[in-house]
Structure 1
Amino acid sequence: MAKQLLRLMTELSSRKWISHIMGRFSHSRLSRYLIPTFTRIYQIPVHEAEKEINEYRSLNEFFSRRLKMGMRPIDETASAMTSPVDGVITGMGPIHAGTILNVKNQDYTIADLLANSPRMQNYIHGYVFVLYLSPTDYHRIHSPVTGKKAESEHLRGKVYPVNDFAMTHIRSVLSRNERLITYITHEHGEVAVVKVGAMNVSSIKYVDETVTEWRNGDDLAYFEFGSTVVLLTENGTFTPRGDLKIGDKVKMGELLGLLHESSDHRS
């Protein structure tokens, strides 16, 4: 009975009008009075924030805060792919003939996740990381590679939460929610940074929509409420760090593995 009630509440939370009301409030100056409570409940490390908490004009502005310089060093290993966010690895591994296996006991297809994009063929035998950002986390998204924008796509969808319950009990949340996808070409191929929205999902935003190239660790986009990033690498172009596993916490700029020439083209 409790599970059914939670599922109903989760379904209701996917309604756009509820999300819109929450979004309006979080942008209001009135919401700034909730910032101290918010930081206390979620144990947010406020010493990392660029500004003092009383300088933020709204809860949303605090939530999408920048950090002080040097708080997230970027791994400088040659051909590194780094984590684009602070988050927990909720899924990782090789993509099997276009299927991402066992993300919270659910399988996802690349076709659904990328909405049958012509680019999906690049990833059907690639590698995937699913990175969940909790309310505690820093919510800016950075480029995981040095490269140029090949394409950007905004896919409208639901606004389901992406917490543990929703990911486990609601079907295909990652491919039903609204998504902002950035395809980035790099020295050895391409990556897809799939930003999956949740509550107040209309607020997945590029830092600067005119920018077309980034260095590893450059500011790319941000969430105004918690969500998930799915990071895909092109077929045969990536070797993961050997010690990473599902459930690990990673920081933005931390090494995830090494990019290399496609194994299909190696002699």
Structure 2
Amino acid sequence: MKKTQLFTLLFIAVTIFLAGCSNDKQDEAEKKTELTISAAISLTDALAEIKDTYEKENNVALVFNLGGSGKLAQQIEQGAPTDIFISANQDWMDKLESENFILKDTRADITGNKIVLITGDDSKLEYKAFADINAKDVAKIAIGNPESVPAGKYAQQALQQLEKWSTLEKQLVLAKDVRQVLTYVETGNTDIGFVYESDALVSDKIKVLAAAKAGMHDPIIYPGAVVADTKHEKEAKKFLTFLESDEAQKILNNYGFRK
């Protein structure tokens, strides 16, 4: 083989090798860290916008596992792979903290909410306050299961304070999460329901009758924390810090959340 041909073949081989190394490095640089975030389902719409905003500026892919806070906490206790937990109340976060399932120094209050009473957009009901609810007016009332759904627990506390829980209990339809409550009311399967103000804002099939007054239930606070067995502690902490930023808080405010 002539020297010129040999040189050409060697040059091509080296070029291909270097190109392969370059592509490997590029693929490695472009590979995103996947963060799994178990969050209260009431945050669905706000988190979707936050995801778009955050991923544009950070080399991560946010994956959301949404549901009732109690169910999510139980999944974490059972070993479900999770990097961050955002609860709709303090109780479930307290439980995970006491069991060392979260990194305590990462815990922070992310935002807050309000409980409202809703009905279908064509309903004739004209309640002005929770105290106006009358068992004679409604056949079914949707509420998140107080055992696992914070919104349901807040509503229960309000009704108990008004001494209405026992008189309405037989008419309650327990839902697995607050979005199911919204669906029950939207479809007319229940006459009224208790949801967060943020949930009411995303539906054009319901109307808000009244909001819970201050002191009727525990403060509605959404704490967030990094899960103890995360493999991406640095990235998880960074995202939690972002949730407390003005940029993220503005998005949350647009969806009815208030810190």
Query: Given the two structures, how large is their TM-score scaled by the length of structure 2?
Result: 0.21
**Radius of gyration: which is bigger?**
2
Select the structure that is richer in helix: 2
Select the structure that is richer in strand: 1
Query: Given the two structures, how large is their TM-score scaled by the length of structure 1?
Result: 0.21
